[in-house]
Amino acid sequence: MHKLKSIKLYFFSILKLSSLSFRNYYFTSHFYNKKLITFIPNRIFYSPSPHLSASLTTVSYDFYKITNTPLEMLWKAHAKDIQKFKNLHSFLWLTKVDRKNSKIITKDIIKSWMNNFFNYTPNAWEMEITAKRIIAWASNTDITLEDSDKAYKEKFFLSLVKQSNFILKNLKNLFYSPTKIICCAAIILSGIIFKENDLNYKTGIKELEKVIKNLFDENGFPKSRNPEDVFISIKYLILIREWFKEAQKTIPDFLNEIIFKCGNCYAMLSCANEQFPLFNGAT
């Protein structure tokens, strides 16, 4: 019996590896990447205020020493450090840069990223990283888009379209977690900034409601029992609500309700030193 179980486990492991290998081959194909471009936008109809996304990261701009790193070396410099790689490719550090003196270098960095990663690349296009990158690029258009030439704008818009469609197509593969909330946020934002992408906006709201029903209990506490999930989730839920306010969109009742419940859980958990107690996976 033990040998039978081992053979079964080995068989399913081989099957899973084969499936992942085929998946990566398909995602990197020209056919798949062309399929991700569903429309070609001419402009952005809504730009979130940069300060709204400022709380999503504590990483400072100086952390990367970007201005001192040649662009051709930038993406290799942090490739071996997983956390630095994620932080770099998420672009959330854009909220920390000097708005007056970093416009040119910021556009050059994004242009370099698009030249290297415009098509699907396994690590750089990991779901949560991609979702954060969409939020970061769209939330900092004052330094990522303003005063740019036509060629840059077109590729920038197409990259946002491709990445948002990639998340939408693969959202069902994620477990119910804060990561899925982050991905729903990116889908919703992509539907607000481009009028042609209204389907993403509607789909993102429906998927967000499903995530909330499956991720939280009736008191607004994550079923994972991890207090850190409260902290991550409430930031993105509030961010989505603020986008709705700025874009003059109707705020769904379920969103206000879960923010209220999550807020109560956060207030109950937070200690006098503004830290979370370390249990059930909280870091």
Tell me how far apart the terminal alpha carbons of the chain are, to the nearest angstrom.
Answer: 40
Query: 93: which 2 tokens?
Result: 């550090």
Q: Assign residue 225 a region: left if phi > 0, alpha if psi is -120 to 50, beta otherwise?
A: left
Give 53-104 pLDDT, tens digit per residue.
988 887 665 555 565 667 778 888 777 788 888 989 999 999 888 888 788 8
- Please give the pLDDT value at position 167: 97
Residue 18 has pLDDT above 60, yes or no: no
What's the average model confidence in pLDDT over 96-121?
90
pLDDT averaged over every residue in the chain? 86
Rounded CA-CA distance 54/57 in Å is 7
Structure tokens at 108: 């050059």
Amino acid at 89: H
Q: What is the DSSP letter of 223?
A: T
For residue 197, the Cα-to-chain-centroid distance in whole angstroms is: 17
CATH superfamily of 39-269: Chondroitin AC/alginate lyase (1.50.10.100)
pLDDT bin (cut points 50, 70, 90) of residue 283 is low
CA–CA distance, 219 with 226 (Å, rounded to integer): 14
**Higher pLDDT residue, 191 or 283?**
191
Least confident of 33-37, 97-101, 220-224: 97-101
Q: What residue spans define the domains of the chain?
A: 1-35, 39-269
Model confidence, pTM = 0.87
Q: Give yes or no for residue 245 having a pLDDT over 70.
A: yes
Q: What average pLDDT does this structure show over 33-42?
A: 92
Which spans in the chain are helix H?
2-27, 30-35, 71-77, 82-90, 103-117, 127-139, 141-144, 150-170, 178-193, 198-215, 227-246, 253-269
